[in-house]
Structure 1
Amino acid sequence: MKTSANTSERLIESTRELLWERGYVGTSPKAIQQRAGAGQGSMYHHFDGKPALALAAISRTAEEMRAAIDAQFAAPGTAVERISAYLRRERDVLKGCPLGRLTQDPDVMADATLRRPVEETFAWLRTRLTDVLAEGAARGELSGALDPAATASAIVAVLQGGYVLARAANSTTPFTEAVNGALGLLTAQAATQD
């Protein structure tokens, strides 16, 4: 029984890695099996096929991202400090966001089932950021004129766009500049309260 669970885990983790590296089309069942060290029979014993395995992998990535982000937003500090910690956390910038990259994958976006965890996670992130910003405004840390929902969407767009700019330049510098720019604008909203 333990070996069966280990095989399932290896298949999911291998699929997660390959989706991040190659996208859905570039992630063949054979590549998954090779990376997981599992045979075709093992793969189809645990999953109905590549779409079911991809869904398990995407859902796992989404769950882990939400847990990590939620921990950062629940930490002590001002709204700007918590958002700054989130934006500046260690990332593999040149690989991009494991979920954000899937939005550029036409096969994932065309499949409502595969798209759902991506869509739900970005909606959750915007809502969670909105809550942190609204809390900051309510505590007088940020200007009351700040629109929390619009600002949350802008922060997510800056982050995802920063990945794209970094990958295009093959340098983390554009990502760092985008984050610094967003935080500069947010800090300016905080400074107006002093």
Structure 2
Amino acid sequence: MYSRRMSVSASERLIEATRELLWERGYVGTSPKAIQQAAGAGQGSMYHHFTGKPDLALSAIRRTAGELRAAAETVLGGEGSAYARIEAYLLRERDVLRGCPVGRLTTDPEVMTSETLRAPVDETLDWLRGRLAGIVQEGLDSGEFTAPLDARETAAAIVATAQGGYVLARAAGSPDAFDTAVRGLLTLLSRRTVR
């Protein structure tokens, strides 16, 4: 354990510990002491690398947001039809019962009232809606999807279904609720697909 911790920088351990704690406990429930304990780093190390909890949380939120965008882009930027890429995004493997690490931040009042902490959350959700709208528009332009179908509205519905699916799954204690919501949306979208 000692050699592993020494091989990863203290700032990296602090960021990763903060990411996990924010996902599990939210901003208020993530104390500097809990971060330090989870990271195996002392108070001096934390304040050497970061000006305080908000600075560290911002680094963690930015990394989480970046990873979410990268994971989404892997399937959205892949091969296949517009419908196939949307389907791949919605059906990709995810830890449904833990919820979306970015989406969960939207329920955290401390994050949402801080323009600085909220910015990467807003940017990520805006990016995702925009990326999906572009794919839906590709499908409309190629004739794969039939009108009337609004690209922006459809993209918003896709994001809302995924985020709402997390909430339903967590409430039910089962990923089946997420799967049902996603499959329902895909059924509706497939009815607008020319085959």
- Report if TM-score (shorter chain) is over 0.5: yes
The answer to whether the 8 A contact 2:147-2:192 is kept is no
Query: Which residues of 2 match residues 10-89 of structure 1 at below 5 A?
Result: 10-89=13-92
Superposition pairs for residues 119-130 of structure 1, below 5 Å?
119-130=122-133
CA distance in 2, matches of 1:15, 1:84: 32
CA distance in 1, matches of 2:25, 2:87: 30
Deviations along 1:159-182, one digit per CA (max 9) or x if unpaired, are 100000111111111100000001
TM-score, normalised with respect to structure 2? 0.95
Distance across 2 between alignment mates of 1:176 and 1:9? 34
SS in 2 for 1:181: helix
The equivalent residue for 1:151 is 154
Deviation at 1:144, TM superposition (A): 3.0
Q: TM-score, normalised by structure 1?
A: 0.95
- The count of corresponding residues between Structure 1 and Structure 2 is 191
Q: Which amino acid aligns with 2:190?
A: T
- Which of structure 1's runs of 4+ aligned residues deviate more than 4 A? none
Distance 1:19 1:30 in 2: 14
Unaligned runs of 5+ in 2: 1-5
- Give 1:67 deviation, angstroms: 1.3
One-letter code of the match for 2:127? W
Give the secondary structure class of the aligned counterpart of 1:159: helix
CA RMSD of aligned residues (A): 1.4
> Aligned residues: percent identity?
63
- Per the TM alignment, residue 70 of structure 1 is displaced from its structure 2 partner at its CA by 1.3
User: What is the aligned partner in structure 2 of residue 110 from structure 1?
Assistant: 113
Please list, as runs of the form range in 1=range in 2, the aligned pairs for 1:92-107 lying within 5 A after superposition.
Answer: 92-107=95-110
Q: What is the DSSP-based 3-state SS (H/G/I as helix, E as strand, rest coil) of the residue aligned with 2:148?
A: coil
Q: CA deviation at 1:75?
A: 0.6
Residues 22-52 of structure 1 show CA distances to partners (whole Å, capped at 9, x for unaligned) of: 1001100001000000000000000000000
Deviations 1:66-116 (A, max 9, x none): 111112111110111101111111111011000000000000000000000
Distance 1:151 1:87 in 2: 13
**Residue segments in structure 1 that go unaligned for 5+ positions in a row:** none
Whole-angstrom distance in 2 between the partners of 1:20 and 1:79: 31
Structure 1 residue 4, shift from structure 2 partner: 9.6
Partner of 1:169: 172
2:147 is paired with a residue whose SS is: coil
Aligned partner of 2:152: which letter?
A: A
Structure 1 residue 5: deviation in Å? 6.6
